[in-house]
Structure 1
C-alpha cells in the first residue's frame, strides 16, 4: 500500500465472525501500551453518519459533497462516491490523516493485498480465506485448525494474546 505511513494490519473474515467485537477488545489493550490507533472500516452497505433533519444531512441531501462537520471535539467528512464503486484501500489511505498514529487497523477489505489476521469461527461452517490469500499472517480462531506451520494460530477468545502478537510482529515491541 503506497499511502500507508504507519504499520497497517487488517482483520478479514466473513460477516458475523466478530471482527468489530474483537477490535473493540484489542484497541483498549493497545492503547494501554501508549499506542495511538487509527481504524478504517469497510462498510458493505449504504450508510449515513448524520441524522435526518440535522443541518449536515439537509446540506448533503441538497447536493453538497463533501460535507465536513467540525466541532471542538471531532470532525467528520461525508463524501458521496459517484458513480457508486467499491472503495480501494490505498485510495482511502491517501485521504486518511495518519499523523501521530503508531498503527492503523483495517476492518474488511479482505480481497486487498496487505497484512491481515483472518478470523474464523468453526461453528459458522464457512471456508478459510488463507489458502487463497498470501497476505494473511495469522489466523485467530475458536478451535484448532489444520494450517501451515508458518501461519500462527491465535485464540480468538484471548484478545490479550492477539494484542501481544500485534505488538511483537508489527511494532517490534516485546
Structure 2
C-alpha cells in the first residue's frame, strides 16, 4: 500500500444545472493543455457498462462479483457493490484510479463528501444554492453575476477556460491524500 497526493476538484449541483456539460468542456481545455485528467462520476441510479445479451453481461448476471471488459482500445472493471443501500466512499473510489498516470481528477457529484468543490448554480432555475451550507465549496460557476457571502470565487459558467485556469491555479490547495 502507498499514498498519492493528487489534485481533486468536484463539480456539484442539483440535476439539470449543467455539471456534465461544464466538466466535459473543462476536460477538453485541460487536455488541450497537456494535462492527464481522470473523471469520477457519482450516479444516483443503477447503470451498466455492458450490453444485455453479451457474454460478459450474462456471466455477471449469473453471479460474477467482478467483470473485466478489455479490448485494444480500453478496459473497464465492473465490481458488484456488496452494500447496495450505501453511497460509495469518495476516497475509496479515487483509490481505484491509476493515479500515477494522471495529473488531476475531476469529480462530478459526491456533494456530501468533504473535498474541494465548485458549485454549478443557475439562479433562474429557482434551485437554492448549496454554497451557504457547504464550506467545502471553493467557487461558484454561474451564468449571472453574483455577490456571495462569505466571499467565494465566482466563475463564468460559459467560459470553461476560466474554470480550467481556476482549477490549475489551486492545484496545491486541492491535493488530496489517496491511499492506494
Q: Map 1:138-149; keep pairs closer than 5 Å.
A: 138-148=139-149
CA contact under 8 A between 1:3 and 1:93: conserved in structure 2? no
Which stretches of structure 1, 4 residues or longer, exceed 2 Å deviation after superposition? 2-5
CA contact under 8 A between 1:4 and 1:90: conserved in structure 2? no
Query: What's 1:157 paired with?
Result: 158
Q: In 2, Cα distance between the equivalents of 1:45 and 1:162?
A: 28
Q: Quick check: 1:34 aligned with 2:37? A: no
Q: What 5-or-longer segments of structure 2 have no aligned partner?
A: 174-180
Query: What's 1:54 paired with?
Result: 54
SS of 2:120's equivalent in the other structure is strand
Q: C-alpha displacement at 1:94, in angstroms? A: 2.0
Q: In 2, Cα distance between the equivalents of 1:108 and 1:4?
A: 22
Q: In 2, Cα distance between the equivalents of 1:140 and 1:99?
A: 29
Q: In 1, Cα distance between the equivalents of 2:138 and 2:83?
A: 34
SS of 1:104's equivalent in the other structure is strand
Give the strand-richer structure, 1 or 2: 2
Stretch moving more, 90-99 or 16-25: 90-99
Q: What 5-or-longer segments of structure 1 have no aligned partner?
A: none
Please give the TM-score of this superposition, normalised by the length of structure 1.
0.92
Shift of the 3–58 alpha-carbon distance from structure 1 to 2, 3 Å rule, reads farther
Stretch moving more, 111-120 or 89-98: 89-98
Q: In 2, Cα distance between the equivalents of 1:60 and 1:23?
A: 31
Q: Quick check: 1:116 aligned with 2:117? A: yes
Query: What's 1:63 paired with?
Result: 63
Please give the TM-score of this superposition, normalised by the length of structure 2.
0.89
Query: What's 1:43 paired with?
Result: 43
